[in-house]
Amino acid sequence: MMENSPSPLPERAIYGFVLYLASQFGFFLYCLWAFVPEEWLHLIGLTYWPQKYWALAVPIYLLVALTISLVILFGVNMNNTAPLDSVDNITDMYAQAQGTNSCHKGGIPRLKDVSISEVNKMFYLSPQAIKSRN
């Protein structure tokens, strides 16, 4: 059973090259449609294409949407951050539902959240903290 890895493989190189050729060809077709006058297209028989207005409008729309979405991403993140007076900065329902210690003798104690009061005592009140601060 082959493991998935992101390393370069011959198949991936071929896929990449095909995609590159297809995208360059697609861009060439788009430029063709944008620059060739309408009458020539009508002469060949291609009549039902979108208005030339869209040749400019769609790229501009995409770029503006990209820029705005960047700003909105920042805004949404800041909006979802818990304010300083929220209990979510201290604990949550999983930490509160932990059981009290039930360690066997000599065994490794269970992994669980340490309450903020204990953490503070360890950081700021213990003699070791005083030594490391001076």
* Residues forming the site for another protein (CB under 8 A): 78, 81-82, 84-87, 89-91, 96, 116-117, 120-121, 123-125
Instruction: Specify the amino acid at residue 117.
Output: S
Place of tokens 């932990």: 98
* Of residues 7 and 77, the one with the C-beta less far from another protein: 77
Minimum CB distance to another protein, residue 132 (Å): 12
116 to 55, 91, 124: CA distances (angstroms): 59, 8, 12
Give least dist CB 116 to another protein, A.
Answer: 5
Nearer to another protein, 9 or 90 (CB): 90
CB 123 → another protein: shortest distance, Å? Answer: 8
User: Please, which residue, 67 or 91, has the CB nearer to another protein?
Assistant: 91
* Residue 23 C-beta-side C-alpha neighbours within 13 Å: 6
Structure tokens at 66: 């990209």
Q: Smallest distance, Å, CB 93 to another protein?
A: 10
According to DSSP, residue 126 is labeled S
End-to-end, the C-alpha distance of the chain in Å comes to 57
